[in-house]
Amino acid sequence: MGALARVPWGPLVLVAAFCVPAVGSRFYTFLANDIVIWALFATSLNLLVGVTGLVSFGHAAYFGIGAYTTGLLMKKLGLPFLLAFPAAGVLAGALALVFGFFCVRLTRIYFAMLTLAFAQIVWAICFKWNEVTGGEQGMPEIPYPSFDWVAALPLVGGWRTAEYFYFLTLLMVALCLWLLRRIVGSPFGRMLTTIRENAERAEFIGVNVRRYELAAFVLAGAFAGLAGGLFGIFNRGVFPDFAYWTKSSEVLIMTLLGGMGTFYGPAIGALVLIVLNQQITSYTEYWPFVLGVILVVLLFVFPGGLAGAAQAAVRRLGGVRRA
């Protein structure tokens, strides 16, 4: 276990991910890009679900807002990616501040229901506000960022635009995950954990529970917004269903599947769910049925998710070796 824990998994995975376009087809690059963005989305949700103990059913709202923000800024105002991308985080975070202000006043199922209600409001606005969002038709043809100057550099030239965008996504997501990792491992992150463990006790070590919950909500919203900003470009268009409740449930399933007790669990969940979806839909049209079975098995057999199960297995192996 000790040796396994000392392997620098993060950088290794990042390097491996960078190699995908070189060794795989365009399709694999596409798939990997999808996974990487959803990994960030799921990890942002886990800041609420796994770290703070707040179950949000409306996390897609911030994903959608981020997607529309970046999309609008790049398509309609022609702003560069380096401005339009952070704007997604800022705007999604700002909206999370407004919605979160009300949500953290409630607990448990009431909190979850209110996050869902706000998300449906966001969806309805995206769906109906034709002049800005394109309404039901969405906003197709979001331009890629300009990679001309990168392609002109020595050594890194010669890739397609979609592949450059994949590299850019990798860098941005790696940066965001690193930031999230620092946040979870900081004193602030520990305070969030005390709230998850026992809000009453947290209050009486001097933690202003509501304020910390709101801070977590804003951070989670902002990172979801960044994921959305990337997804809109990747998807070559932004549509109202980005903010629909099915997206919220999808990201929640990824988080549970991967395991909310570990930092990288949700990212693993995103990987497994997207690959499984890909594989299974090529054999059968009953993907939702398969997904349902997976969930039932998961909840009963591996309540800690895949990452939790892996940890337990490694621990058991380590125990056997020592004995």
Partner 1 sequence: MRKSFDGFLAVGGVSLTVERGRIAAIIGPNGAGKTTFFNLVTGHLKPDTGTVLLDTRDVTGLAPHDVCRLGMGRSFQRTNIFPRLTVYENVQAAFLSHRGRGRNLWSRVERLYREETEALLASLGLLERAGETSGFLSHGAQKQLELGIALASEPSLLLLDEPTAGMSATETRETIRLVEHIARERGLTLLFTEHDMEVVFSIAERITVLHQGRVIAEGTPAEVRADAEVRRVYLGERR
**Which residues of the shown chain bind partner 1 in the complex (CB under 8 A)?**
182-183, 185-191, 193-194, 197-198, 200-209, 212
3-class DSSP state of 105: coil
Closest approach, Cβ 253 to partner 1, in A, equals 23
Q: Would you say 90 or 207 has its CB closer to partner 1? A: 207
3-class DSSP state of 167: helix
Q: Would you say 10 or 135 has its CB closer to partner 1? A: 10
What does each C-alpha distance from 127 to 30, 123, 210, 239, 247 come to in angstroms?
27, 6, 32, 8, 15
Q: Would you say 201 or 236 has its CB closer to partner 1? A: 201
CA–CA separation, 206 vs 209, rounded Å? 9
Closest approach, Cβ 318 to partner 1, in A, equals 16
Closest approach, Cβ 321 to partner 1, in A, equals 21
Closest approach, Cβ 222 to partner 1, in A, equals 12
Using left for φ > 0, alpha for ψ between -120 and 50, and beta otherwise, residue 134 falls in: left
Closest CA to 108 of 45, 72, 57: 57
Closest approach, Cβ 199 to partner 1, in A, equals 10
3-class DSSP state of 258: helix
Q: Would you say 79 or 196 has its CB closer to partner 1? A: 196
Q: Would you say 131 or 200 has its CB closer to partner 1? A: 200
Burial 106-131, CB ≥16 within 10 A → b, else e: eeeeebbebbbebbbebbebbbeeee
Pair 276, 294: CB distance under 8 Å: yes
Rg value, the chain, Cα: 20
Closest approach, Cβ 211 to partner 1, in A, equals 9
Q: Would you say 26 or 182 has its CB closer to partner 1? A: 182
CA–CA separation, 46 vs 263, rounded Å? 8
Give the count of beta carbons closer than 10 Å to the beta carbon of residue 46: 30
Q: Would you say 80 or 319 has its CB closer to partner 1? A: 319
Q: Would you say 30 or 188 has its CB closer to partner 1? A: 188
Closest approach, Cβ 187 to partner 1, in A, equals 4
CA–CA separation, 62 vs 242, rounded Å? 9
Closest approach, Cβ 96 to partner 1, in A, equals 16
Closest approach, Cβ 130 to partner 1, in A, equals 40
CA–CA separation, 255 vs 236, rounded Å? 26
The token pair that represents 249 in the structure block: 């449930």
Q: Would you say 26 or 190 has its CB closer to partner 1? A: 190
Give the count of beta carbons closer than 10 Å to the beta carbon of residue 33: 27
Pair 112, 44: CB distance under 8 Å: no
Q: Which helix or strand (DSSP H or E) is residue 238 part of? A: strand 237-238
